[in-house]
Amino acid sequence: MLYKEIGQNHQGDIEIAKKMIKMAKECGADCAKFQKSELEFKFNKRALERPYNSKHSWGKTYGDHKRHLEFSHEQYRQLQKYAKEVGIFFTASGMDEMAVEFLDELDVPFFKVASCDANNFPYLELTAKKGRPMVISSGMQSMATMRRVYQTVKEHNQNFTILQCTSAYPLDPEDVNLRVIAEYQKEFPDIPIGYSGHERGISITVAAVAMGAKVVERHVTLDKSWKGNDHEASLEPSELTELVRAIRLVERAQGTGIKQMLPCEKACHDKLGKSVVAKVVIPKGTVLSMDMLGVKVGEPKGVSPEDMGQLVGKAVTEDVEEDGSITPRMVDGYNNKG
């Protein structure tokens, strides 16, 4: 599943939010995701009252800033309705317990657990008990914590995934740590593992899919120059389109994991596949020894080189010319594996 983190890149404007939902659909994403907070439950009073002088600020205090960006329950219902009309799944990260309760009422297809709540075990337990699928980011956490996350959620909910994530915006390649995906796959083999990326560009995310990431989250924006911490680490529409194309290509290329000659290889095998040939003239009735046998591209196709050892000690049933292919029917008692 590929879903787009709109987060709060909508600038607090519901019309921009709708444009971003439509963009996610048009670019081929499976889901558009937002962030829902009930601010008095996510932050204490002093956190909301602290001055916020960043160039990205939408208010004098952090509370003013967050209130500007927070959609109401009714606006969320409008966005959900619009997403349904567009034909894309709609959900949000519940950034506190009360937000989870609202999203549950909204009947979202899955809950997203942000990295900042991955070690919030009361929150995890409450969310898991709702019974909806869960996607859990793991930024800022240790493996020991993620083992506890797995055990806590698993007790109440079998349907969840863990995403490798590094919580920096934008993220330098040296800090992505894609190898954690493989470690999670070993630690938690019974759940899908995914990737939440905050890096610039798409190459690293495509690599994550090639490593087996089954769920992918990337932030999106309509303009990287807009005010907000996340825009620089987000993908614009052209990048999102290319990412979706590349991921679908990698998914097609994953295959079954079964190594065998495929039908598409038959033409090459017929043209260039090698066979056992006679190094010398071999009269009818001769018992074959290894020094009589060589390997070349032969016409007609003969015994496969990998079965050469099976020919030794067996008699030929007809004359074989020098440089001629040795076919299965020429050798008495040869067990042709086909």
Tens of pLDDT along 160-181? Answer: 999 999 999 999 999 999 999 9
Can you say how many angstroms the Cα of residue 124 is from the centroid of all Cα atoms in its chain? 23
- pLDDT for 284 equals 98
Model confidence over 193-210: pLDDT tens digits? 999 999 999 999 999 999
All CATH 3.90.1210.10 domain ranges of the chain, comma separated, are 263-325
pLDDT at 336: 60
Residue 338 has pLDDT above 50, yes or no: no
Burial of residue 101 (number of CB atoms within 10 Å: 0-12, 13-18, 19+): middle
- d(Cα 87, Cα 271) in Å, to the nearest integer? 49
In the chain, which ranges are continuous DSSP H helix?
14-26, 39-42, 45-49, 62-69, 73-86, 97-106, 121-129, 143-156, 179-187, 203-210, 237-253, 266-272, 308-311
Which of these CATH numbers, 3.90.1210.10, 3.40.50.1860, 3.90.1490.10, 3.40.50.300, describes 263-325? Answer: 3.90.1210.10
Whole-angstrom CA distances from 203 to 50, 176, 252 are: 38, 12, 17
pTM for the model: 0.89
Indicate the Cα dihedral angle 206, 210, 215, 219, nearest 10°.
-10
Spatial CB neighbours of 93, under 8 Å, sequence gap ≥ 6: 33, 34, 35, 36, 112, 113, 114
User: Is 3.20.20.70 the CATH classification of the domain at 2-254?
Assistant: yes
Q: What is the pLDDT of residues 242-279, one digit of tens each?
A: 999 999 999 999 999 999 999 999 999 999 999 999 99
CATH 3.20.20.70 in the chain: give the residue spans.
2-254
**From CA 152, how far away is CA 119, in angstroms rounded?**
10
